[in-house]
Amino acid sequence: MTVEGSPEITVPVSEQTVLSPTRWSGFFRYFFFSLLVTMSAAQWLVPVWVWHIILGAELRLSPLVYVLPPFLFFGVNIALLRGMRHRSGLPAWLRIPIRLYFASAFTSVFCCIFVLLGAGVWALGWGLGQGLSLTPWPAVAEQLQPPLWQMLRWLSGLGIGGILLIFVYGYTWGQASVRVSRLRLRPQGWPHAWHQFKIAHLSDLHIGPNLSRSELQACVRRTNALDPDIILLTGDLLDSNPVYIPDYFPLLAELSAPYGVFACLGNHDHYAGAQAVKAGLARHTPIRVLQDQRVSLHKQDAALHLIGLDDRGRDWARGLEELPLLAELQAPIPSDEPCILLSHRPDLFPQAARQGIALTLSGHTHGGQFALPGWGGRFNLARFITSFSRGLYQQLGVYLYVNRGIGVAGQRIRLFSPREIALITCEAAARPSQPADSA
C-alpha cells in the first residue's frame, strides 16, 4: 500500500456566498453582551431571592443598594474577562478562584430564569386570588394567599437546589467525559478499493485556558489507539489566544495515521489569527491545513479526494447555505472517485449532498454543550443556530457527521453532551454474488 499526496490545489475564492437566515439574528449579534448583562444582574438577584424569599430573612436596604451591585458585578466581570483573554498560564492559586467565580456567575443565570418563571406562576395565582376577592367568595381569596406564598418558597428552593446539583455535575463529571463514537457508513458509490477505510474525526479542540496539556495528550493517545487510516480535524484548534501555540501544538504532532493528518480552520482560529495557526501547525506538526483547497490520496490506482474549506467570517451564529467555491473545487474530481469535505460549520451539507460528496465532516456546535438527556441529545442549544446540531445526518445517499468536539467554549461545562472522538469506517456496498457454475 502506498500513500501519495497530490499537490494541493487552490481555487480562487468566489465572491458570492449565501448566508443562512439564522433565527433571531439580532439576538445572536448581541448575545454575549446580553449574557454578560444578565449574568451581572443574576449574581445579585439570586442571593437576594434566596435570603429574602426562601429563607424569609428581612432585608432593610436603601434603593441604591439594590440597584448598585449589578453594575459593580458588570465592571468586575468585564475586567476579569479582558485580563484572562490576553494572558496565559495563570498560576493555579489565581486561575481556580476565577474559574469558580465565573462558574457560580453562569449558574446564577439559570437560577434567575427559574426564579422568574416561578414568580410568574405565583403572580398568576395571586391575580386569580385578587379576582376572587371581587366575587361573593372573598374568604377563598384570603385562604389562597398563604399556600401560594409557601409554594413559591418551596418551588424556588427546590429549583435552585436542583440547578446547582446539575451544574456541579456539568462542571465536573459532565465536562470531563470523553466518548468514542464508532460508526460504519456505506456512502453511495463508495469504491471497494477504499472499503473499510477508517477515519478518526476530531473537532473544536479550543486549545486555551479550558483545555489542559494532559487532557490534550490523553485525546491524542486515544485517537492513535483507534488505529485510524487517516485523522481529520474540522476547525477551532485554538480558542482565541495564539500564545498557547508553542506549548500545545507540539502535542498535536503525535497524531499519526498512514494517510496523514489534515485540518480545516474554524471561526475561533480566525479570532486567534489564521496565519498564526497555520504557521504554528507548520512549525510544530506535520498536519496539513486545507484552506479552500483539495488534495488527493492514492491507494494503488484508486484516488480519494479531500476538500477543506476555510471558515467564512466572524459571525458565530450564521453558517452558509451555498458556496460556489465548493462546486469549483469539486469540478475536476471524476464522479466515480469518492470525496470527503472538511467544513467547520455543517450548514453546507445540503449543497454537498446535491454535489454527491460522500462524507461531510463538521463541528462548531459542540453538540449544543447543553442538551436534554435522551433522544440522542438532539434537543440542545445548538438547535437555535443550525438544523445540524450533532451526530449523523443522511441526504441523497451521502452523510454528514457533526462532532461534539473535544474542547468547550466560554465555560468549562458540558451537560449531556460529552466530548467526542469519532471513528468512522466507510464501507463499500457488497458486491453482487456471482452465479454458480453449471455442472
| Residue of higher predicted confidence among 376 and 115 | 115
In tens, the pLDDT along 4-61 reads 444 444 444 444 445 555 555 556 677 888 899 999 999 999 999 998 888 888 777 7
Q: Are 252 and 285 in contact (CB under 8 A)?
A: yes
| Segment 325-337 mean pLDDT | 95
Per-residue pLDDT at 359 exceeds 60: yes
In tens, the pLDDT along 160-214 reads 999 999 999 999 999 999 999 999 999 999 999 999 999 999 999 999 989 999 9
Alpha carbon 290 to its chain centroid, in Å, reads 21
| Segment 315-333 mean pLDDT | 89
Task: Using a cut of 0.85, tell me whether the model's pTM lies above it.
Answer: yes
User: Which among 201, 295, 315 is positioned nearest to 5, based on CA atoms?
Assistant: 295
pLDDT of residue 300: 84
| Segment 248-277 mean pLDDT | 97
In sequence order, which residues have a C-beta less than 8 Å from that of residue 156 and are 6 or more positions away?
49, 50, 53, 54, 114, 115, 118
| Residue of higher predicted confidence among 156 and 280 | 280
User: What are 5's strand-pairing partners?
Assistant: 297
pLDDT of residue 208: 92
Domains and CATH numbers, the chain: 4-24+180-426 (3.60.21.10), 26-174 (no CATH)
- Catalogue the E-assigned strands of 334-438: 339-342, 359-362, 391-395, 398-402, 419-426
